[in-house]
């Protein structure tokens, strides 16, 4: 009987690995190394006014969303209505990083589709995107009142993901309860 124990244990271990691998969802999704750490410092000219800037300090004091978007990004178009809803509900301040885009096209996008952002930084060179570990738009970061990254969402944001992954962090961990 005992001769079967070892193979059985080996099979169980293998099955556990396979099940975990299957349940992981998108295998290309990478965990962000910034979760629980201070958000990367940045300073960018704003999209609407190249002479004005937006920087890390502007985000502090309240939990905020940092949404990385671009006009060439199909997923950004898909999530745009939901960002407008969030802005209209006053759920949370939404900031944008317009990543690897052209100013003219980005401005036209905002004009045609609406502007959910308090401000968007214009990152034409992609330099700030790299500092934030961005590898594909859209990506959305939840940053706490004291500037710590609480969550990163890959792909289009929607109500379901918002309720599941963002909302609980804002009331408990984000220091936003007050």
Partner 1 sequence: MKHILVLAIAMLAVAPVAAIDTGKAFDDPELQARYEKLISEVRCLKCQNQSIKDSNVFLASDLRREIRRLIAEGKTDAEVLDFLVTRYGEFALYRPRATGKTLILWVAPFLLVIFGGFAMFRVLRHRMSLPIDDERAAKEQSE
Residues that bind partner 1 (CB under 8 A): 6, 28, 30-33, 40, 100, 125-127, 129-133, 135-136
Fill in the DSSP letter of residue 3.
G
Report, in Å, the least distance between residue 94 CB and partner 1: 23
Q: Tokens 């920087």: give the residue.
A: 55
The total number of residues written for the chain in this structure: 178
What are the DSSP calls for 134-175, one per residue? Answer: --SS-EEEEE-TTSBEEEEEES---HHHIIIIIHHHHHHTSS
Q: Of 40 and 175, which CB lies nearer to partner 1 in the complex structure?
A: 40
Give Cα separations from 12 to 25, 57, 78, 134 (angstroms). Answer: 21, 51, 41, 37
What is the C-alpha separation between 78 and 155, in angstroms, rounded? 10
Q: Which is nearer to partner 1, 81 or 126 (CB)?
A: 126
Which runs of consecutive H residues, i.e. helices, occur in the chain? 5-23, 56-59, 74-89, 103-113, 127-131, 159-161, 167-172
Taking the least distance from each CB to partner 1, the nearer of 19 and 30 is 30
State the minimum distance, in angstroms, from the CB of residue 60 to partner 1: 21
**Least distance from partner 1 to the Cβ atom of residue 125, Å:** 8
Nearest Cα to Cα of residue 45 among 110, 113, 116, 101: 101
Residue number with CB closer to partner 1 (75 or 133): 133
CB of 24 or CB of 28, closer to partner 1 = 28
């Amino acid at each position: 009987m005992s001769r079967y124990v070892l193979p059985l244990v080996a099979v169980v271990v293998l099955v556990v690995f396979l099940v975990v691998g299957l349940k992981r969802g998108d295998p290309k999704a990478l965990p962000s190394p910034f979760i629980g750490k201070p958000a990367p410092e940045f300073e960018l000219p704003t999209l609407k006014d190249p002479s004005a800037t937006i920087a890390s300090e502007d985000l502090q004091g309240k939990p905020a969303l940092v949404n990385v978007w671009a006009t060439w990004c199909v997923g950004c178009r898909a999530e745009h209505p939901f960002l407008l809803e969030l802005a209209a509900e006053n759920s949370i301040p939404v900031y944008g990083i317009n990543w690897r885009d052209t100013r003219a096209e980005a401005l036209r996008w905002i004009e045609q589709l609406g502007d959910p952002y308090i401000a968007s930084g214009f990152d034409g060179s992609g330099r700030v995107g790299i500092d934030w570990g961005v590898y594909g738009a859209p990506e959305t970061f939840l940053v706490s009142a004291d500037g710590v990254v609480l969550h990163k969402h890959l792909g289009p944001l929607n109500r379901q993901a918002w309720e599941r992954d963002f909302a609980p962090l804002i009331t408990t961990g984000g220091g936003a309860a007050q």
